[in-house]
Amino acid sequence: MSRPFLTEDHEMYRKSLRKYIEKEVLPHYEQWEEDKQVPSSFWKQLGEQGFICPWVDEKYGGMNTDFGYSVVLAEELEKVCTGISGPSLHADIIVPYIDSFGSEEQKQKWLPRCVSGEIISSIAMTEPGTGSDLAAIKTTAVRDGDHYIINGEKTFISNGYTTNFVVVVCKTDTKANPAHKGISLIVIDAVDQDVPGFKKGKKLNKVGQNAADTAELIFEDVRVPVENLLGEEGKGFYYLMEKLQQERLMVAIGSMTAAERMLEITIDYVKQRKAFGKTISQFQNTQFKIAEMATEIEIGRTFVDNLIVKHMAGENVVNEVSMAKWWVTDMAKKVASNCMQLHGGYGYMEEYEIARRYRDIPISSIYAGTNEIMKIIIAKNIGL
């Protein structure tokens, strides 16, 4: 299928990235799954070859490319496994906060290292007991002269165990009314040195996406220079809302790619597996299931690619992206279940890719805002 936003340059980038992945990632990613993290060398190799943050301006070390390159990076990493998508999260969900809201001094200090892979970034939003209720966070940042003193605890932080650069969502005004007006974004930069009071919990033992390290982050009287404040005090909630369109679009892009991959490996499997004297692909039930999945995937791909075009044009498609995020992730979960069923007992074995895909996909309907939250947003935007 022709992709409306991709050019020959995008495909050259894809070809180069795929060649790197085949040589340096495919032989190792299963070990990374066991280790429950990817090595920092993976980030640095991606950075050295220009695969991380190519959209960043040239004066900060990037190539000033368009969002299409971000799509290609997300898709090619997803084709291997969701667990190695940390660099895509870094490049297209976290670094944009620095690019959009950082001062010139902050950009000069941090963006080149984001591009090179030296910085392994994370964004610390979720707290124990808060979930999607961002306004209820309890992590505080109290001004003390030229520093903020940060106290609190975060959980389910992607890249959290290997991170050396954290954008902390915290309250600089605990008395603000409404509460979200007291939220700010402050960076903890631990690239070159330990930061006293900043601690990482153990790697969380997740059901899937094992290579994607996830951890708790703990802040005990962490002193952070005031120049690490991103943008203005009290504007953090608005900054987060502004970037959610791209974050949720990235989730839809990854889930679309996962659904396509699951269908691909299942078609290959049913053509080879035999039962009752013929291949499984010859049974009508198999053909119907495959046809149904292929149709829904084609519909999803058309919708998502159209949203990518609109997003690249700078259009406000928050409502449509909310639709895509919940529908595509739910569709991908259904595809995972159907594909595992068509694999039979072998689909439950770890040596078959569908087993890992089946474990990896469910979280997509939870992170970046649960699908229930997506439906609330849609309902409000259509006047309910």
Instruction: Please identify every residue annotated as catalytic.
Output: 247
Q: Tokens for 352, please give them.
A: 């078959």
Q: In sequence order, which residues have a C-beta less than 8 Å from that of residue 177 and are 6 or more positions away?
A: none
In the chain, the DSSP E strands lie at 121-124, 140-144, 147-158, 165-171, 183-189, 198-203, 214-225, 229-230, 274-275, 278-279
Q: 68-80 and 284-312 helices cross at what angle (nearest 10)?
A: 150
Residue carrying the six token digits 């039962």: 275
C-alpha dist (Å) from residue 184 to 150, 152, 237, 239, 347:
12, 14, 7, 9, 46
Euclidean distance between CA atoms 311 and 314, whole angstroms: 5
C-alpha angle 272-277-280 in degrees, rounded to nearest 5: 40
C-alpha dist (Å) from residue 308 to 37, 86, 296, 378:
29, 21, 18, 19
Euclidean distance between CA atoms 126 and 139, whole angstroms: 10
Q: In sequence order, which residues have a C-beta less than 8 Å from that of residue 200 and are 6 or more positions away?
A: 160, 161, 163, 215, 216, 217, 218
Q: Would you say 143 and 114 are in contact if contact means Cβ atoms under 8 Å apart?
A: no
Q: In sequence order, which residues have a C-beta less than 8 Å from that of residue 152 and are 6 or more positions away?
A: 127, 137, 138, 139, 140, 170, 219
Cβ-in-10-Å burial (0-12, 13-18, 19+) of 372 comes to exposed
Cβ-in-10-Å burial (0-12, 13-18, 19+) of 216 comes to buried
Euclidean distance between CA atoms 227 and 230, whole angstroms: 8
189 phi and psi angles, rounded to 5 deg: -105, 105
Strand partners, 150: 141, 222
